[in-house]
Amino acid sequence: MTRTLVVAALVLLGLGGLFLALRPEPTATNDEPREQVHDVEIEDGAMSPAEVSVGQGDQVTLRFTADAPVEVHLHGYDLEEEVEPGEETELSFEAELTGQFEIEDHETEATLGALLVQPR
């Protein structure tokens, strides 16, 4: 019986050691706001990418290019910027509000895409 207990203890110690040696590293969570720069192309009335995702508190810069003149309007943040063909236009802000916000052509009110701000 003593031998069985010793073998069981050694097996448990060995399994514990294997677990510690082979366990996956914990995923690092970065709750710190960061600077986000996204290149956004508007072509034929649609954004590419269609959705831009950022974290709450991030300093965001959207760099727009377009194939036709468009006044970009970011709902929820009430930011607007004229984008001319062949030119790059930047829209910078701090992503304080969470949720999904439409990005539209202000003149036609057509939806171009969306901004998704994830809570931290």
Return the domain boundaries, the chain.
35-118
pLDDT tens digit sequence for 34-51: 999 999 999 999 999 999
| Rounded Cα distance, 9 and 25, in Å | 26
* Percent of the chain whose pLDDT exceeds 90: 72
> Residues near 49 by Cβ (< 8 Å), separated by ≥ 6?
38, 40, 113
pLDDT tens digit sequence for 65-86: 999 999 999 999 999 999 999 9
Confidence of residue 31 (pLDDT cuts 50, 70, 90): confident
What CATH architecture does domain 35-118 belong to? Sandwich (2.60)
| Rounded Cα distance, 11 and 110, in Å | 66
Collapsing DSSP states into helix, strand and coil, what is residue 30?
coil
Supply the DSSP symbol for 22: H
Collapsing DSSP states into helix, strand and coil, what is residue 32?
coil
* Mean local confidence (pLDDT), 94-116: 98
Q: Is-cis flag, bond preceding 24, omega within 30?
A: no
| Rounded Cα distance, 9 and 89, in Å | 67
